[in-house]
Amino acid sequence: MGSTLRQLSVVDHDRDAAGMTYVYPVVSRRAGGVSVGINLNPNNACNWRCVYCQVPGLIFGKGPQVDLTRLEEELRSLLQEITHGDFMERCVPEGARRLNDVAFSGNGESTTSPQFREAVEIAGRVLNDLGLLGTVKLVLITNGSMMNKPAVMAAVSRLSELHGEVWFKLDSFTAEGSRWINGSAVPVEDHVARLGAAAERCPTWIQTCLFAWDGQPPSEEEQRVYLEGVRTLAGGSAPLLGVLLYTVARPSMQPEAARITPLSEDWLRSFASRIEEAGLPTRVSV
């Protein structure tokens, strides 16, 4: 594996970087270091279609059957290379040579995998065996669409026992925004209820991607409704860690790609201040 790995960067999240089927390393802006990704959707299938998605050949569907033995072997091998080999020196820029997390984040929605719970157990076992459990976070990056399924919620509860976090996608609080940005027809109130269900079981961040469309930032109405939604959540019963706010860093592989550009750091930080005024701590990734 070591000879095949190339220098990583925040703009290169190639799932094949380590030549593995289910596991890949990235330098993550939001993680602030090295994140080891677990891809339970090597078939490029997702039940949403976000306009900024960087997955080429994205199809509608769910995760396939996973070779759990191979998944465990790959995860164990890569983590050992990172923690006991020369991976950091060879492949990671100075300033980012820190193992931050193991994240379920691949080419589709991880929680659609029929073996998501088993995969969580494997990740927890490998981290524990390597003495990393509790110091290296276990993160589920999710669109939240399956948070009304008992099996998924049981896995999220187990994630919490393993000192994990949920990063729950919520890009818009309007029905129009959800349909346009994420390809989701789920009523916003139902999606917010799923957010609450996740937060009741595991420490949860909202993750929001904002971007310019045809050179224009989100409309004043989108911003207003988003901030109203945050204010309601901040005063609700389900505890939230806050908001992870970011913009696009890599080109979309969807038909709308030419219309999407990053927002400036100044714009993001200004909006982050408004989110914090509405009641939730906010971290900005640029």
Q: What's the whole-model pTM score?
A: 0.91
User: For residue 111, what is the domain's CATH number?
Assistant: 3.20.20.70
> 1: pLDDT confidence band, cut at 50, 70 and 90?
very low
Report the pLDDT value the prediction gives residue 30, as an integer from 0 to 100.
59
> 33: pLDDT confidence band, cut at 50, 70 and 90?
confident
Q: Specify the number of domains making up the chain.
A: 1
Lowest mean pLDDT among 90-94, 130-134, 166-170: 90-94
Report the pLDDT value the prediction gives residue 257, as an integer from 0 to 100.
96
Lowest mean pLDDT among 138-142, 212-216, 234-238, 253-257: 234-238
Which residue segment(s) compose the domain that 243 sits in? 2-285
DSSP string across the chain:
-GGG----BTTB--TTTTS-SSEEEEEETTTTEEEEEE-S-TT-EES---TT---TT-EES------HHHHHHHHHHHHHHHHHSSHHHHHS-TT---EEEEEE-SSS-GGGSTTHHHHHHHHHHHHHHTT-BTTBEEEEEE--TTTTSHHHHHHHHHHHHTT-EEEEE---SSHHHIIIII---S-HHHHHHHHHHHHHHS-EEEEEE--EETTBPSPHHHHHHHHHHHHHHHTSSS---EEEEE---S---STTGGGEEPPPHHHHHHHHHHHHHHT--EEEE-
Lowest mean pLDDT among 30-39, 137-146, 227-236: 30-39
Report the pLDDT value the prediction gives residue 7, as an integer from 0 to 100.
55
* pLDDT more than 90, % of the chain: 81
Mean predicted confidence (pLDDT) in 155-167: 97
